[in-house]
A and B are shown apart, each in its own frame.
Chain A
């Protein structure tokens, strides 16, 4: 089971809101290479893993990714807090604001909602671990 720990893995403190940046960071939350996909990928792949190392590693990494999800959510939240009137109307943020106001909705920067089509769970250790390598490589692209 999972139980909540009432602290972030690493502190998030953002003084100045920046809705345009929030819109970009949001893809790390619920985009195709985001933390939600990462945690569900690992936590779903672990059931068909044959060895203890893989079961342990995917459980621990998948759990840590949920902690990352929370930090990214905190970043998006703090980048959109106390917005002034002209900031809502920032063309980069206005379409998101119309649908979600300042809620943190798991979606990609381009607006489409999180989709399990961006992860793979094949029940085959080699296929799944190879997908994990590819996924970790794309995380780097997103962070870039």
Chain B
């Protein structure tokens, strides 16, 4: 005859009754992280030295040509990186201020290069009597990305 004790109950056994299935470890980005300046961030692929952990030690050493477009790309990248950080750290006032500064610099860069840079989107006001949106080169074309 099987004794009643031989039939296990749920929760019985060697593990403590409240044993977790697994212990996840997710390293969170800390508050107020150190930052690269925008252009270096764009080249390294992250604004945050603490997250700059290149795979196999392969680092992008190409310097970007200093053009209005690359300036806009660098500032846009900084805004984007700070936005991603603020998405999970909305209380960080210093990061918020920096995000706002880069937004302003992006807008200033656009304004200063009006007529030099082609229209970036349909919403930005344009003037003149030609529809410049269609002008070559398009972003994926080699000619759009040459240096100097």
Contact = CB atoms under 8 A, between A and B. Distances in A.
A7 B88 contact: no
B47 interface: no
Nearest to B137: A6
Contact of A77 (B77, B90, B123, B140): B140
Contacts of B123: 3
Interface string A1-30: 001111111111111000000000000000
Given A11-B64, A11-B145, A6 B118 contact: yes
Interface stretch (B9-17, B66-74, B95-103): B66-74
Nearest to B140: A74
Contacts of B144: 8, 11
Interface string A33-54: 0000000000000000000010
Interface string A46-73: 0000000100110011001000001001
Main SS of chain B's interface residues? Answer: helix
Nearest to A55: B87
A58 to B, nearest CB: 9
Contacts of A81: 142
Contacts of B140: 8, 12, 70, 73-74, 77-78
A100 interface: no
Given A56-B87, A70-B139, 15 more contacts: A3-B121, A6-B118, A7-B69, A7-B76, A8-B139, A8-B140, A12-B145, A13-B145, A13-B146, A13-B147, A53-B87, A57-B88, A60-B84, A74-B141, A78-B140
